[in-house]
Each structure stands twice: as C-alpha cells, then as structure tokens.
Amino acid sequence: MTRKNIYILSFEDCAGALARVGSKNANLCKLMGFGVRVPPGFAVTTDAYIKFFTMGDFKEKIQQALSGIDPNNPSAINKASKIIRQEIEKTTIPKEISEAIMVAYEKLSKECGVIDVSVSTRSSGTSEDLPGASFAGQYETYLWIRGFDKLLEKILKCWSSLFTPRAIAYRIKMGIENEKALMSVGVQKMVNSKAAGVMFTLNPLNGDASKILLEGSWGLGETIVSGTVTPDRWVVDKGTLKILERNISPRKEVECTIDPKTDTCINVKVEAKRRNISCLCDEVIIELARQGKHIEQSFRRAQDIEWAIDKDGSFPDNVYIMQARPETVWSSRKEKPKAEVKKPKVDVKKDTYEYMLHVLTGKK
C-alpha cells in the first residue's frame, strides 16, 4: 500500500475497515455488497484525521481547552468548542492528504461524467461503534459541494464536528477519551432528487414487522426536515409488497432543489398540479419496499432507510438508497426479557422528523 492511498478508500473497498472508515461508510460498503444501488463515493480515512491532528500542537491545545471542563456548563462547553473548531478549520490540510483527496475527487467526477461533480460530505465517527455509545446526530453533514477547494473546506468542518458542544459533553459524560474518537469523512455523489424520504422496514407506530412504512415529498427532503411540508405516507405489506394504505398530503407547496447558478439548496414553490398528487408512483413505491425488504433480510434486523429518486435518471436505475441504519425503538424492546418489556411511546411524525434531520442535515 502506498503512502497516499492509506488516506482514501472507495466505498466498495471499505469492507473490513470499520476502524478506518467509521460505521456510516462501512455500512455503505455493505449495502453495495448486498447489491443495493448506492451513489458512488469514497471515504477519507481516519489515517488522514490522525495525520492532521498529529501536526503541530493540536493535542495540547485541545487538552488545554477541555481541561477540567464541566459537561453540565453549557457556556464553558460552547467556548471550548468554538476555540477548538476555529483552530481546526483555519489549518491547512497536509499536501500528501489533499493530493490524495484531489485524485479521488477527480476520479469520482470522471466516473460520473462531469467536471467537479457535486457531492455531500458525511461525518463517520469511529466512537459511534464503542459499546453503549450513541452519537446519532452529533456530527455534521454538508450537501451540494462542488469543486476541490470547497471539498477540502467541508472535510475540515466534518473533522471539527467531533468537537461540537453536544459531542464534547457526551464524551465527557460517557468517559470516552478524545484520542479514541476518530473521524472518517464520506464523500458521496449528490442525487438530484425529484423526491426523497425515509422508509422503516417495520411500522414505527405499532412495531408491526409485517409492514413497511414510507414517507416522502418532492425535492431533496429538507422541506420535511424543516417542517415546511407534510410528507406523503404509504404502508406496504412486506410479504406481498401490496400497497395497503395511502395518505397523500395536500401540504406539499414547497420543494427543496438545487440552484444551478450557486450550487446551493433553495426552496421553490411547487406548481399547483403537483401539490395534491403523490410524489411517488406505485411502481417506485413497490421498488423501494422491495429494496427495504432485501436490506432488512441482508442485515437480519429491521432498518431505518433514507432514499432518493434521481430526476436525471430513469426507473429503476434512478432509485437510490442513501443510508440504512438499524431500527432501535421496537428492536430493542423485543430483545429485552419479557418481565422488562414496556410499551414504548412512539410518535411516528416525531421519529421521522428526527431521522430526516439526522441523516439529511446532520443536525438535531
């Protein structure tokens, strides 16, 4: 292995490299291995993160900022976070790492047939995999990044998101050392979505494992996250893939799309004829449910799944799975001894909102 390529792994090559690419990127590799259609990309490994943080006196500055800090003191936590993140984001990435990233980005752009392909950067921390830890939503994601310089900027921001106030406080409370909290960054081709949403391979309202629930709306999905629109909802029988329920929302007046002039996400009004119709046709709903069923069978447990439909492609090649993670509310309930089982209070709208928030924006 050359010195450069220790810093980069394509998603296809992330198998068995959990410690170097974090759980999100490793999961994408597994999905690809299961034959699931996932947007292409690569991981900037924890080797790059370690190399970056061993430069100069980063370790000492972080220790100084966090020394004796009270995790229950928001003001102190916020101040420390600001100091550390500013220090990280103003530092230049070492040339050997930036060159490796440039080669990988140019290769991805060539594979996608465009110059400077638009990508997302998703933080993929290794501390997410420590026993008893739950870092969901604590790290950051950036969308619609185009160009090498902007990509380097967002990678630095992903690295610095290891030191958000929430992440700092959580590690202190959990007794997790900063040296054990490493960060990989997933760089993934953006999907120009005509519709996007989430899918649960059991019904989150009642834990019914024989059903699949999907929610979605026009555009990129951020309008669901912000509460600007109420998504459409479908319930599908997992065995037969028959659509059992449809709830088509009349509140889809706005969609989030990409502004080609600025490469930024903007909200635009949905024309009247699309506001009250389903954002997905039946064949797409069934295809998504089929993929959800396959993913659940492959992972051998219920899943929460993010999906997107590419407006630039044709069915079924435009149906993409962006992420999948284990369902936790009902699955954890079933794993408890019967004497300990208590019916959880589940708010489907709230659960879907929080999941979209975590997966699509990295915020909570």
Same domain? 117 vs 229 = no
Looking at per-residue confidence, does 353 or 331 come out higher? 331
pLDDT in tens, 227-281: 788 899 999 999 999 999 999 998 788 888 888 777 778 888 888 889 889 999 9
At 5 the pLDDT is 82
Provide the whole-model pTM: 0.84
Same domain? 331 vs 206 = yes
Determine how many CB atoms are found less than 10 A away from the CB of residue 219. Answer: 28
Same domain? 143 vs 175 = yes
pLDDT band with cut points at 50, 70 and 90 for residue 165: very high
Same domain? 199 vs 276 = yes
Token pair of 226, please? 């912000």
- pLDDT over 50 at 8, yes or no: yes
At 359 the pLDDT is 42
Same domain? 35 vs 110 = yes
At 128 the pLDDT is 56
Looking at per-residue confidence, does 225 or 156 come out higher? 156
pLDDT band with cut points at 50, 70 and 90 for residue 87: very high
Same domain? 177 vs 227 = no
Same domain? 65 vs 173 = yes
At 136 the pLDDT is 52
At 2 the pLDDT is 45
Mean residue pLDDT of the chain comes to: 86
- Domain of 277: which CATH number? 3.30.470.20
At 37 the pLDDT is 97
Instruction: Give the domain-ending residue among 189, 220, 252.
Output: 189
Looking at per-residue confidence, does 26 or 355 come out higher? 26
Residue-range definition of the domain harbouring residue 309: 193-361
- pLDDT over 90 at 363, yes or no: no
Alpha-carbon distance of 315 to 195, in angstroms, equals 13
Provide the residue type at 40 as one letter. P
The predicted model gives 282-294 an average pLDDT of: 98
**C-alpha atoms less than 13 angstroms from C-alpha of 94 in its C-beta half-sphere:** 15
Phi, psi of 294 (to 5 degrees): -65, -40
CB 276 within 8 A of CB 251: no
Alpha-carbon distance of 7 to 99, in angstroms, equals 10
Instruction: Give the domain-ending residue among 172, 189, 206.
Output: 189
- Domain of 36: which CATH number? 3.30.1490.20
Token pair of 158, please? 């992903």
Same domain? 166 vs 20 = yes
Alpha-carbon distance of 32 to 75, in angstroms, equals 43
Token pair of 26, please? 């490793």
At 358 the pLDDT is 45
pLDDT more than 70, % of the chain: 86
Same domain? 9 vs 158 = yes
Can you count the helices (H) and strands (E) in the chain?
12, 13
Same domain? 342 vs 267 = yes
At 138 the pLDDT is 64
- Helix 74-89 × helix 148-160 angle, to 10°: 150
Q: Among candidates 288, 283, 270, which has minimal Cα distance to 218?
A: 270
Instruction: Give the domain-ending residue among 189, 218, 249.
Output: 189
- pLDDT over 80 at 50, yes or no: yes
**C-alpha atoms less than 13 angstroms from C-alpha of 35 in its C-beta half-sphere:** 7
pLDDT band with cut points at 50, 70 and 90 for residue 16: confident
Count the domains in the chain. 2
Handedness of CA 168, 163, 40, 45 (dihedral sign): negative
pLDDT band with cut points at 50, 70 and 90 for residue 354: low
Lowest mean pLDDT among 181-185, 187-191, 222-226: 222-226
